[in-house]
Amino acid sequence: MERQLLQRAKEAFVSGRARPLEFRLQQLHALQRMILEKETEISTALKQDINRSQYDTPLLELIGIENEIKLAIEKLAQWAAPRPVEKNLFTISDEVYIQPEPLGVVLIIGAWNYPWALTLIPLVGAIAAGNAAVVKPSELSECSSLLLHALLPRYLDKDLYPVVTGGVSETQQLLRLRFDHIFYTGGSTAGKLVMEAAARHLTPVTLELGGKSPCYIDKDCDVRTACRRVTWGKFVNCGQTCIAPDYILCEPCIQGQVVEFIRQTLLEFYGADPKCSPDYSRIINQQHFSRIMSLMEGYTPVVGGQSDSSQCYIAPTVLKDVPPHSRLMQEEIFGPVLPIVTVSDMEDAINFINEREKPLALYIFCSDQKAIKRMIEETTSGGVTVNDVMMHYTVSSLPFGGVGQSGMGRYHGKHTFDQLSHQRACLIRSLKMERVNLARYPPQDRRRARRVRMALRSPLIDMSKRTLIWAVVATILGIGLFITLLVILLIAAGLNCTCWYWRGFYN
Amino acid sequence: MSQEELVVERARRSFQTGRSKPLEFRLQQLRRLQSFLKERQEDIKDALQKDLGKSGCASELYELLVVEAELQLSLTRLAEWAAPRPVEKNLFTLSDEVYVRPEPLGVVLIVGPWNYPWSLTLLPLVGAIAAGNAAIVKPSEISSTSSTVIKQLLPLYLDKDLYQVVEGGVPETQQLLKQRFDHIFYTGSTAVGKLVMEAAAPHLTPVTLELGGKSPCYIDKDCDIRIACRRITWAKLINCGQTCIAPDFILCEPSVQNRVVEEIRRCVKEFYADSPKTSDDYGRIINQRQFKRIVGLMEGCTIAFGGDADESQGYIGPTVLKNVTGDSRVMQEEIFGPLLPIVTVQSVDEAIHFINEREKPLALYVFSHNAKLIEKVLAETSSGALVANDCIVHFLDSALPFGGVGHSGMGRYRGRHTFDQLSNLRSCMIKQLKMEGLNSMRYPPHSTKKLGWARRFLLSQLNVQKLRNMAMLAMLTCLAAFVVQSANQCWHHRRIIYWKLVHEACPAYCLVPKAIILLRIISSKAASFTQTTALSLRDNVFLSRKPAHTSTLLLITQHASLPLVEGLLCSAVPALKLSSRCRSSAAGVQSGPSLYWSKHFIFVLM
C-alpha cells in the first residue's frame, strides 16, 4: 500500500508536472482555499482531539499556515530563481550561480500536538520547492488525521501529495522505503529511529524534536508581565507545545512572587476552575496523562494539582523548589506542569543550562541589555526569545529548528524552501580561451603553478548589479577628477585663457 | 576509557572553556595553519609523492592551493560571516531586535579520504576553526605517510587540545564513531557514508557526507571536440583518475566517438609524452586492492587505447574503452581510476534518460556551444553540481557550494558554506517587557473580537523592507522638490537680470542672439523649467511687448516640459499637488497631462 503510493508519487514527480512555478502556485492557492473554507471543521476536529478552544486553533495554527502560504506565493519566483554568486579572477567570464532544484519525494511525518501547522508548513515548503510529498499525520490526533486524509486529496493533486494514515507499523513500513528527504516532527527517541532508517538510503533528514526549554527570570525585571507571558506560553494547548517553557529558573528571593503572579494570571485566564473553561485543553491520551501524573509524584503543588483521568484533565500546576536532579528535570514534561528551580545568580543559571542537552528554545526575561547579551553568548539553543515566549516561531524570516538533541535542520518561510531544495552549483564556461588554461595542464612546472595560484587567490568579487553601478559611478568620478586635475595643471603651467581673450582671440 | 574516548573528552573540555570562541583566537589559529602550509610544504610534498606518486607541482596545484585560497578567504571574511545576521521584520516585531546568530556547534569529527589526503581533510578543518568549533581530525589510514605527517606536524602549529589528530584504520574509526560528536564531516565512499550516518543516528549528530558517484560527461557533436577532449583528459587523469569529481564516463553520439578517442590519445601524448609511466606528472594507484579492482573492471570491454598496467608500481596507463554498454560492469560502480569508458547515445534526450536512470551523480559535465542544450540538461537532470564546457573547476571556486545529492552525499561546503554548515544558526528575538496590552489578543479567555484583531494583525504582515523603501523614496522626492523649488527662486532673480542685460546689450532687432540666450537660460537646468509655471503669466506679459518669435519660442519650451516637472511635483507631495495645479491652471495649462505624467512617474519608480 505505502509502496504503491510512493511509486505513484515518484512517477508523478518524474513526469515533471510538479516543477513549473504556475503549478506550484496553483497548488498553494488550493491549499490556502482549503484552510479558509474548512476552518470550522478543523477547529471541531481539534476540539474532539484535545478539547482545544475554537479560537485557539486559528490563532495557533491556521493563521501561521496562511501566513506561510501567502509568503510562499508572494516570494516563490524569487526563491526559485538562480542565485548568482561572487566571482573571482578565474571565473570572471563565466556564469556562476546556484540553482535551487526539487529533491524528489519528501516524507513529512507530523506531530499530534499541532497536527495542522506542523504537518502543513513543511508541506507548503515541499510544494513550493517543487517536490512530491507523502504526508503522514500523527495517529494520536485521530480526528485531525482523518480529516486531513479526507480533505487534502480534494484540494491538491492526488498523486503528488498522498496522505497516509496509520500507526507505528505503517510508519515503519514507510521508513523502509526510499525517499529523497524526510521531515520529521516529534520526540527525540523516534527521531533517532527515523535517522537510522534514513541512513540506509542516505536520505537527508530534518528533525524537529523537543527538549526542555529553560526560562530564566531575572529578579530586576517586571516580574508580573514576565509571569503573564510565561503562563500563557506554558498552559496554552495544555502545555503540549514543543517550544513551551519547560521550567523556570529564578533566584530564591523572587520565587514567591513568581508563584503569586502565575496564580493571579491563571485566575484571569481560565477562571477559578480551569476544568470548566472553554479555553483550557486536555491531555491527548491516557498514556500521556499517566506519564505526566507520575512526574508530579512526590511534590506538593503550590498552584493546581487537580486531575481527572476520565477527561484526561490536569489542572495548571506549579511546583516550587524542584531539585535539579529530580526525574521531573530529566525528561521533557509536555504537560501543564511548571517546575521552578532556584539558582543563586545568572552565572549559576548559565551553568545549569549548559550542563543539560541543548534545548530547542531558551527564554530570558531581563531588562539589562548586557546581561541578556552575556546569557545569549554563553549558552546555546535552537532559538532564543528575550522577554517573551515562543514568539520567534511566528517570524517566518527566522529559521526554526533545534541543535543537538533538539533536532537538526531549519525551516519556516524561505528556510523550508531551501531545506527541501537541492542547491545545485552551476558553472557555465565557454570552450574559448583555451590558452588561459595552459597553466593547469601537465607537463607542469613552477611557473604554471604560480599563475594558477594568482587566479585562485584573487579576491571574490560580487558581480551583482549594485557592484556594476558603483563601478560605473566610481569610474565617472575618477575621470572627472582626472580632467579637473589636468585643467588645474594646465592653468598652473601658464596656459591662461583670459590672456587669449585680451589678445583679441575672440574679437 | 579507550583512547578515542579520552581524545573526544579532552577536546570537549577545552571547547567548554570557551577559548575557541573569540574571533581573534580563530584568526590566530587560521594564520598558524597558513604558516604550517608554507613552512612544511616540502614535508607535505614528500608524503604525497610516497602515497600517490604525485609530483611536487601537482601536489601544490591540486592540494595546497585550494587550502591556501580557502584560508585567505576565511581570514578576510570571518568577521563578516560570524556577525549576527539581521532578518526581515514584520509589523509585530517592528520594535524588536530579530537576528540569526552563527554559533559554534561543539566538537566536530572530520574523516578525510585518501585520494586528496591534505585538501579534503584540511578544508573542513579550516571551516571548523573558523566557526569556532573543536575538531578531531581522522586522516585516512590508506594514505599512510600523509596521515603520519598530519599527526606529527599539525599539533606543532595548532592548539593541541582543541584540534587533535587520531590515526588508525577501520577499528579506530569505528571506535571514534561510537563517541558523541556535534557534527560529523565525512569524505569518502557511499558504502561507508551509510555506516557513518547510521552511527551518527543514536546521538542525533548531524552529518555532512561528501561521497562519490559516477559523474557523466556529455559531449555534444557540434562543439569544439578538440578542446573538450583536452579538458576531459586533463580532469580524468589528474591523480591517476582517483578524484571524486573526475568525469567517470563519456556520453556522445556514435558519429563522434572515433574523433573523441583520437583527440584524447593526442592529449595524453601532449600531457605525458610517449610514456606516462615515466612522466613526473602521472600518478599511481594507491594500493594493490584498488589496482586489482580497476584492472578487473577492464575485462570484457573494447580497449580503444592504453590498457597497460604494472602491478609492482601500481601503474595503470591512461585507458579509453569504446562502445561500452550501460549494463557492463564498468558502468555499475564508480571507477576511481584512469579508465574512461565511452557510451554512445543517439541524442541528448537519450543521454538525459541514461543519466536519470542511475543514481544522482556528484557532478555532471556538458560540453556544447548550444546554450539551449545546456539549459535543457540542467533542467531535466539532477546532480550535485553542473559544469558546462569544463570539468572539475567548480571545486576550485570557493563561492560555489560543493556537495552531492542523493547517493552522492548530503550537505555543502567550501568557503562560507563550510562556515554555515559547521555553525548553529541560532534565531534570536529580543523584545521588551512593555506593551502588554497588545498581547491580550492572544491570551485567554478568548472571544471572536480578539481573534479578529489577531487575524488582522498577523495576516497583514507588512513587509518592512518595502515600507522602508517607500519612505526613502518619498523622502527623496521631497528633497528633489525642495531643491527644485529653491533653484526656482534663484533662477527667477537671475533670469530677470539676464533678460535685462540681454535687452539692454542687444538692440531690439537682434533676434537670434536674444533667442539663443533665452534658450540657454531656460534649458540650462531641468529645474529651471518649473519656474516657468510660476512666472509664465508675468513672462507672457513681459514678452508680449517683444518680437513675436521669442515669446513663442519660450512658450513652446514651456509647454513641452511642463507636464514632466509638474508630474514630479505632484507625485512628491500631495500638498504640493494642489498648489502647483492651481498655478498651472493660472498659467492656462491643462492639468490633464500633468496628472497623466504623475501616474506614469509613480509607475516608473515602483
Task: Say how far apart CA A192 and CA A435 lie, in whole Å.
Answer: 53
With bands split at pLDDT 50, 70 and 90, how would you rate the model's confidence at B499? low
Same structural domain, A205 and A219: no
- Rounded to the nearest integer, the mean pLDDT of chain B is 83
Identify the residue with better confidence: A370 or A437: A370
Instruction: Find which of A62, A238, A398 to mutate to test the B interface (most B CBs within 10 Å of its CB).
Output: A398
With bands split at pLDDT 50, 70 and 90, how would you rate the model's confidence at A435? confident
How distant is the Cα of B600 from the closest Cα of chain A, in angstroms?
24
Facing B446 at nearest CB: one of A56, A101, A400: A56
Chain A residues with CB-CB distance to B282 below 8 A: 442
Residues 6+ apart with CB under 8 A from A430: A93, A94, B389
The residue out of A373, A400, A427 marking a domain boundary is A400
Same structural domain, A189 and A228: no
Cell 553540481 belongs to residue: B385
What local confidence, expressed as pLDDT, does residue A352 receive?
95
Task: Say how far apart CA A292 and CA A314 lie, in whole Å.
Answer: 9
Q: Which of B4, B63, B70, B210 is catalytic?
A: B210
The residue out of A362, A390, A415 marking a domain boundary is A415
Inspect the interface and report whether the beta carbons of A431 and B436 lie closer than 8 Å: no
Inspect the interface and report whether the beta carbons of A445 and B103 lie closer than 8 Å: no
Inspect the interface and report whether the beta carbons of B390 and A87 lie closer than 8 Å: no
B577: pLDDT strictly greater than 50: no
Residues of A involved in catalysis: 208, 242
Same structural domain, A164 and A299: no
* Residue-by-residue DSSP string for A29-46: HHHHHHHHHTHHHHHHHH
The C-alpha torsion from A152 through A158 and A161 to A167, rounded to 10°, is 70
Q: Is A426 on the interface with B (CB under 8 A)?
A: yes
The residue out of A387, A415, A443 marking a domain boundary is A415
What local confidence, expressed as pLDDT, does residue A125 receive?
96
Section A123-141 average pLDDT: 96
Inspect the interface and report whether the beta carbons of B444 and A192 lie closer than 8 Å: no
Task: Say how far apart CA B60 and CA A444 lie, in whole Å.
Answer: 11
Residue of A nearest to B88 (CA): A397
B318: pLDDT strictly greater than 50: yes
Total domain count for chain A?
Answer: 2
Cell 510508519 belongs to residue: A171
Q: Is A84 on the interface with B (CB under 8 A)?
A: no
Q: Is A63 on the interface with B (CB under 8 A)?
A: yes
Query: 90-119 in A: which are within 8 Å (CB) of B?
Result: 90-91, 96, 98-99, 101, 103-104
Same structural domain, A178 and A62: yes
Helices assigned H by DSSP within B219-347: 225-237, 254-272, 288-298
Q: State what percent of residues in chain A have pLDDT above 70.
A: 95
Inspect the interface and report whether the beta carbons of A380 and B234 lie closer than 8 Å: no
Cell 534565531 belongs to residue: B427
A284, part of any domain: yes
B304: pLDDT strictly greater than 60: yes
Cell 521531573 belongs to residue: A328
What local confidence, expressed as pLDDT, does residue B14 receive?
95
- Edge-to-edge strand ranges of the sheet holding B385-388: A83-84, A95-102, A421-428, B385-388, B363-367, B216-219, B249-252, B339-344, B319-322, B302-305
Q: How far is CA B73 from the centre of its chain?
A: 13
Is residue B24 flagged as an active site residue? no
Task: Say how far apart CA B588 and CA B166 lie, in whole Å.
Answer: 89
Closest CA to A284 of A136, A145, A117: A145
Facing A431 at nearest CB: one of B182, B228, B432: B228
Cell 500536538 belongs to residue: A113
A481, part of any domain: no
* CATH of span B3-211+418-425: 3.40.605.10
Chain B residues with CB-CB distance to A78 below 8 A: none
Crossing angle for the helix pair A142-155 and A21-37, to the nearest 10 degrees: 130
**CB-CB contact of A420 with A181 (8 Å):** yes
What local confidence, expressed as pLDDT, does residue B507 receive?
53
Inspect the interface and report whether the beta carbons of B61 and A449 lie closer than 8 Å: yes
How distant is the Cα of A386 from the closest Cα of chain B, in angstroms?
5
Inspect the interface and report whether the beta carbons of A431 and B387 lie closer than 8 Å: no
A482, part of any domain: no
Residue of A nearest to B273 (CA): A443
A46, part of any domain: yes
With bands split at pLDDT 50, 70 and 90, how would you rate the model's confidence at B509? low
Task: Say how far apart CA B47 and CA B68 lie, in whole Å.
Answer: 18
B3-211+418-425 and B216-402 share one fold: no
What local confidence, expressed as pLDDT, does residue B300 receive?
86
What local confidence, expressed as pLDDT, does residue A240 receive?
94
Same structural domain, A133 and A240: no
Task: Say how far apart CA A107 and CA A122 lie, in whole Å.
Answer: 10
What local confidence, expressed as pLDDT, does residue B386 receive?
95
What local confidence, expressed as pLDDT, does residue A53 receive?
87
Task: Say how far apart CA A104 and CA A117 lie, in whole Å.
Answer: 22
**CB-CB contact of B590 with B575 (8 Å):** no
Section A335-359 average pLDDT: 95
Same structural domain, A112 and A252: no
What local confidence, expressed as pLDDT, does residue A386 receive?
95
- The CATH number linked to A291 is 3.40.309.10
- Taking CA atoms, A244 is separated from A259, B199, B333, in Å, by 18, 31, 49
Section A366-377 average pLDDT: 94
What are the pLDDT digits (tens) for A238-271? Answer: 999 999 999 999 999 999 999 999 999 999 999 9
Residues 6+ apart with CB under 8 A from A385: A361, A362, A363, A364, A391, A392, B428, B429, B430, B431
Amino acid, res. A68: E
Same structural domain, A193 and A48: yes
Task: Say how far apart CA A259 and CA A274 lie, in whole Å.
Answer: 17
Same structural domain, A248 and A336: yes
Same structural domain, A233 and A148: no
B560: pLDDT strictly greater than 70: no
Facing B201 at nearest CB: one of A196, A202, A384: A196
Domain boundaries, chain B: 3-211+418-425, 216-402, 432-459, 486-603
With bands split at pLDDT 50, 70 and 90, how would you rate the model's confidence at B498? low
What local confidence, expressed as pLDDT, does residue B532 receive?
45
With bands split at pLDDT 50, 70 and 90, how would you rate the model's confidence at B504? low
Same structural domain, A223 and A126: no
Section A123-135 average pLDDT: 96
DSSP SS3 for B422: coil
What are the pLDDT digits (tens) for B159-177? Answer: 999 999 999 999 999 999 9
A431: pLDDT strictly greater than 90: no
Same structural domain, A258 and A344: yes
B512: pLDDT strictly greater than 90: no
With bands split at pLDDT 50, 70 and 90, how would you rate the model's confidence at A445? confident
Q: Number of Cβ pairs closer than 8 Å across A and B?
A: 300
What are the pLDDT digits (tens) for B524-550? Answer: 544 444 444 444 434 444 444 444 444
Closest CA to B50 of B256, B270, B287: B287
Of the listed ranges A312-316, A437-441, B204-208, the one predicted with least confidence = A437-441
Chain B residues with CB-CB distance to A372 below 8 A: 430
Q: Is A303 on the interface with B (CB under 8 A)?
A: no
Facing B399 at nearest CB: one of A55, A86, A441: A86
Cell of B214: 559516477
Write out B375-417 in H/E/C secondary structure: HHHHHHCCCCEEEECCCCHHHHCCCCCECCCHHHEECCECCHH
Identify the residue with better confidence: B585 or B142: B142
Section A440-465 average pLDDT: 73
Cell 548530503 belongs to residue: B410
Chain B residues with CB-CB distance to A448 below 8 A: 57, 61
What is the end-to-end Cα distance of chain A in Å, rounded? 102
- Rounded to the nearest integer, the mean pLDDT of chain A is 91
Section B568-586 average pLDDT: 43
What local confidence, expressed as pLDDT, does residue B323 receive?
92
Q: What ipTM was estimated for this complex? A: 0.90
How distant is the Cα of A408 from the closest Cα of chain B, in angstroms?
6
Q: What is the DSSP letter of A60?
A: I
Q: Is A351 on the interface with B (CB under 8 A)?
A: no
Question: How many other C-beta atoms can be found within 10 angstroms of the C-beta atom of residue B255?
Answer: 10
What local confidence, expressed as pLDDT, does residue B241 receive?
93
Instruction: Find which of A395, A415, A437 to mutate to test the B interface (most B CBs within 10 Å of its CB).
Output: A395
Section B282-299 average pLDDT: 92
Inspect the interface and report whether the beta carbons of A452 and B439 lie closer than 8 Å: no
Of the listed ranges A131-135, A220-224, B469-473, B597-601, the one predicted with least confidence = B597-601
How distant is the Cα of B377 from the closest Cα of chain A, in angstroms?
12
Instruction: Find which of B270, B369, B430 to mutate to test the A interface (most A CBs within 10 Å of its CB).
Output: B430
Cell of A285: 491520551
Inspect the interface and report whether the beta carbons of B227 and A459 lie closer than 8 Å: no
Section A332-358 average pLDDT: 95
**CB-CB contact of B426 with A384 (8 Å):** yes
B564: pLDDT strictly greater than 70: no
Domain carrying residue A190: 1-82+102-209+411-415
Is 2.102.10.10 the CATH classification of the domain at B216-402? no
What are the pLDDT digits (tens) for B411-422? Answer: 999 999 999 999
Task: Say how far apart CA B444 and CA A233 lie, in whole Å.
Answer: 11
What local confidence, expressed as pLDDT, does residue B542 receive?
44
With bands split at pLDDT 50, 70 and 90, how would you rate the model's confidence at A106? very high
Cell of B72: 585567505
What local confidence, expressed as pLDDT, does residue B457 receive?
73
Inspect the interface and report whether the beta carbons of B450 and A207 lie closer than 8 Å: no
Identify the residue with better confidence: B454 or B577: B454
A121, part of any domain: yes
Of the listed ranges A143-147, B218-222, B457-461, the one predicted with least confidence = B457-461
What local confidence, expressed as pLDDT, does residue B280 receive?
85
- The CATH number linked to A42 is 3.40.605.10
Task: Say how far apart CA B195 and CA B317 lie, in whole Å.
Answer: 33
Section B93-104 average pLDDT: 90
A492, part of any domain: no
What local confidence, expressed as pLDDT, does residue A462 receive?
67
Same structural domain, A59 and A181: yes
Section A486-505 average pLDDT: 67
Question: How many other C-beta atoms can be found within 10 angstroms of the C-beta atom of residue A37?
Answer: 11
Q: State what percent of residues in chain B have pLDDT above 70.
A: 80
